[in-house]
Amino acid sequence: MLKVENVTKYYGNFKAVDNLSFEVKPGEIFGLLGVNGAGKTTTFRMIVGLLKPSSGKITLDGRFIDYDITDKIGFLTEEPSLLTKLTVKQQAIYYGTLKNMKEKEILNKLDELLIKFKVTEYKNKKIKELSKGNRQKIQFIMAIINNPKLLILDEPFSGLDPFNTEMFKNEIKHLAQNGSIIIFSSHRLEHVELFCKKLLVLKNGKNILSGNLEDIKHKYRKKNIEVIGDIDEEKIKQIKGVISVNLENNKYQIKIKDESVIDEVFDIVKTGKNISKFSVEEPSLNEIFIEKVGETYDK
Amino acid sequence: MINKLKFLTKISLQRKINNKWFLIANIIFAILIISLLNIDSIVSFFGGDFDETKVIYVKDNTNKTYDILKTQNDNYKSIIKEDENAFILEKTTKKDTEIIKKNKNAWYLTIDIDKDNYIKATLTTNDYVNTADYTAISTILNNVKTNIAINESGIDPNELSKISKPLNIERNILDDTKKAKDENTQMMMSTIFPILILPFFTLTIFLVQMVGAEINDEKTTRGMEIIISNVSPKTHLFSKVIASNLFVLFEAILLVIYAIIGLAIRKTSSPLDISSISSLISSDIIKNLTYIIPLALILMILTFIAYAILAGILASMTTNIEDFQQMQMPIVIISLIGYYLAMMAGMFEGSIFIKILSFIPFISAILAPSLLILGQISIFEVVIAIILLIITIWALLKYGMRIYKVGILNYSSKNLWKKMFKALKG
């Protein structure tokens, strides 16, 4: 289990991470969210041992993270971190050996992953010759080549098309099923919603929202009502507790402040014509994020 | 961690050697060294009159000077210790234009009597003359003038012959450790040494480039984050230092091989002058080299290590390739200063300033052995230079490592020096 306990990190007088605590169990996929500069990368760097916390402690299975256990960690950085003059094979041997793997073991694993990600033809190509998407695949392969016990993914879907994104998702789920601890950040909050059972939102280095995704959504009082049909939009807008009514793709999206408003809305909707859908839905993570952080994630 | 250090060292070395530029650079080195060692054969192969003895046609209007001139021309050979005469002299009565029309390289010397009854000479040539030849003919003519003057003063011919005989200076050195017969070899070594240290300068540049370029590459590609999350910055820097020094050693061996090939070619095409080699071997210089070479090697190896650490620390602070190129400049300048000082050491013999500079790390590797060969400093002073270098390496590791740890993960040039000074404080 990964345990981050009361971790604070200062850069000079600037507090980048403020008393952060969370834990992730094997098999869990944990989302660490926040706008740029919120402290995500600093937190990742502390977890992989690149930075030392100013205070607090980080442990993996009860042990402090040092160079004795970094072999068990996989790290995919937000920026490309491949040595572009090397071939894919040389790169795999390089990073694999740094994880204390034997060359034969590295090459077997590399072949397996190249097949899985359908990039076998690039094995002997220099990384600088690959497209952005293929580099991202190779970078992902490098991060998981050691079957990591702890996998940190900083924006793993950057530069990927939907097909490859799906491929990545499947592999991440597969790793989690095999007991890996996975922490990741993504600008695509729909991915976080699909993946993560637990998440934490950072703002200015502080934890402003954390817990199980279901609980977070449940606790979030605002709901969305989706309606298909002809309704009296103006009447609904006049209901106290209705935040907004928008028509998008012939669907009405009605935002309400809490569940108490649902009955009143339903009473008006049922007077409408051609009603084919009335559904109360949980808010999206994006809505919760904007509300809590005060700005969009993609800032 | 030792395995990772070995691996990083191996891969660093491989990346440098399995590189087309390494191959190209070595082809150029091989051609250059072999050519330089056989430059006379190459120049001769293409022809020209560069080594022909100059012919001087002499029109002696005094009717008494030519024979004396010929004698002095022969004597000049023994003064400059050459096998051949400086000039071939031919008496003529023809006009200068007539002679030079036939042989454009020939000189035409007219000897007359001036109003004071001394000889005067006019040298006619088709083109400019070189300094060495001009100095030689001036010396010979002055000797002729002196000879005639003594002759006309009525001195006995035997006495005159003794006066005309070139003076041999016998050397007497009071220092028991030095022998007069080694003096020429010593002089020769002081001329040759700056050439011998040129490869050291070249290898220093190679080393700085290798360490700096790799660290800069790993930083700019962000591969550094993955590397440093698996090995400590210390291990990472050590791998670069070890790899770069092994590379320099390998390159030095290659340079020696090229030199051996060059000498072997020379031996078959135009055999070496054995006498100068045998005099070198029989001299005490060879005995001295048995301690000068190990001391110079120790200094050089320690200097390479110091340069590699310094290059690593400076490269860790760079954030792009332009920064890295500028980073090399101070190191190249320091190295150049050492090289030029070593060349000047012979000119400013006894200079306390140069002696003090020979203790300074980074330039001591070139300067101290030069001064030791010239006999200007003793082994004790070289040992001090070595100790100072070891202290420098220790300081670089202790304080520079703090900068390195922060520098390799810093991607912004904003407040760079502030960050580095802060890192230095620890």
Distance (Å, whole) CA A140 – CA A74 = 9
- Residues B25, B59 share a domain: no
On whether residue B350 sits in a domain, the answer given is yes
Do residues B122 and B17 both lie within one domain? no
Q: Where are the domains of chain A?
A: 2-217, 221-281
The label of the residue with tokens 């995500």 reads A40
CATH architecture of the domain covering A2-217: 3-Layer(aba) Sandwich (3.40)
Number of structural domains, chain B?
2
Q: Which of B118, B75, B119 is nearest to B109 (CA)?
A: B119
Whether the per-residue pLDDT at B272 is higher than 70: the answer is no
Nearest to A67 among B11, B232, B422 (CB): B232
State whether B89 and B65 are in the same domain.
yes
What does the alpha-carbon distance between residue B185 and residue A131 come to, in Å, rounded to a whole number? Answer: 64
CB atoms A67 and B223 under 8 Å:
no
Give yes or no: residues B140 and B272 share one domain: no
Q: Is B408 in the same domain as B318?
A: yes
Q: What is the CA radius of gyration of chain A?
A: 23
Measured between alpha carbons, how far is B362 from B142 in angstroms, rounded to an integer? Answer: 50
Task: Please give the residue range of the domain that contains residue B364.
Answer: 2-41+182-425
Mean pLDDT throughout A231-259?
85
Distance in Å, alpha carbon of B379 to nearest chain A alpha carbon: 45
The answer to whether A50 contacts B409, with C-beta atoms less than 8 Å apart, is yes
Q: In this structure, is residue B48 part of a structural domain?
A: no
Q: Which residue of B has its CA nearest to A103?
A: B7
- Asked if residue B330 has pLDDT above 60, the reply is yes
Considering only CB atoms, which chain B residues are within 8 Å of A85?
15, 217
pLDDT for A139-171, tens place per residue?
999 999 999 999 999 888 877 788 888 888 889
For residue B144, which amino acid is it?
Answer: V
Nearest CA to A258 among A243, A247, A270? A243
pLDDT for residue B354 is more than 60: yes
Residues B36 and B80 grouped into a single domain = no
Co-location of B391 and B300 in the same domain: yes
Q: Both B270 and B357 in a single domain?
A: yes
Task: Work out the pLDDT band at A212, boundaries 50, 70, 90.
Answer: confident
On whether residue B141 sits in a domain, the answer given is yes
Residue of A11, A67, A84 to mutate, interface with B, max B Cβ within 10 Å? A67
User: Which residues does residue A183 pair with via DSSP β-bridges, in sequence order?
Assistant: A30, A152
Per-residue exposure over A83-101, b if at least 16 CB sit within 10 Å of its own CB, e if not: bbebbbbbbbbbbbbbbbb
Alpha-helix residue ranges (DSSP H) falling in B153-232: 157-164, 183-196, 198-220, 223-228
Closest chain B CA to residue A50: B229
Coil, helix or strand at residue A10: strand
Please tell me whether residues B100 and B215 are part of one structural domain.
no
Q: Taking residues B90-102, what's their average pLDDT?
A: 89
Give the neighbor-by-neighbor strand order of the sheet with A63-64. Answer: A14-24, A2-11, A55-60, A63-64
Rounded to 10 degrees, the C-alpha dihedral B51/B264/B269/B191 comes to 10
Taking contacts as CB-CB distances below 8 angstroms, the residues of chain B near A16 are none
In the predicted model, is pLDDT for residue A200 greater than 50?
Answer: yes
What lies within 8 Å, CB to CB, of B10 at 6+ separation is: B243
* Residue-level pLDDT at A223: 77
ipTM (interface pTM): 0.79
Residue-wise over B265-297: b if at least 16 C-beta within 10 A, else e?
Answer: ebeeeeeeeeeeeebbeebebeebeeebeebbe
Chain A hits for B4, Cβ within 8 Å: 97-98, 100
pLDDT (mean) for A65-89: 89
pLDDT at residue number B162: 75
Q: Residue B72: its pLDDT value, please?
A: 86
In this prediction, what percent of chain B has a pLDDT beyond 90?
23
Q: What is the CATH number of the domain that holds B94?
A: 3.40.190.10
Cα–Cα dist A236/B350, whole Å: 102
**Local confidence band at A298 (pLDDT 50, 70, 90 cut-offs):** very low
Tell me, yes or no, whether B49 lies in a domain. no
Specify whether B250 is located in the same domain as B366.
yes
Q: Is A81 in contact with B222 (Cβ distance < 8 A)?
A: yes
Q: What are phi and psi of A152, to 5 degrees?
A: -110, 120
Pair B368, B384: CB distance under 8 Å: no
Q: Which residues of B touch A51 (CB under 8 A)?
A: 409
Tokens describing residue B294: 């190990």
CATH classification (class only), A221-281: alpha beta
Is residue B154 domain-shared with residue B208, that is, in the same domain?
A: no
The last residue of a domain, from among B103, B136, B164: B164
Instruction: Check pLDDT > 70 for residue B280.
Output: no
Alpha-carbon distance values, B106 to B86, B133, B198, B408 (Å): 13, 12, 39, 69
The confidence score (pLDDT) of residue B273 equals 58
Residue B261's CB is within 10 A of a number of other CB atoms, namely 14
pLDDT at A282: 74
CB contact under 8 A, B225 and A98: no
| DSSP of A178-199 | TT-EEEEE-S-HHHHHHH-SEE
DSSP state of B331: H
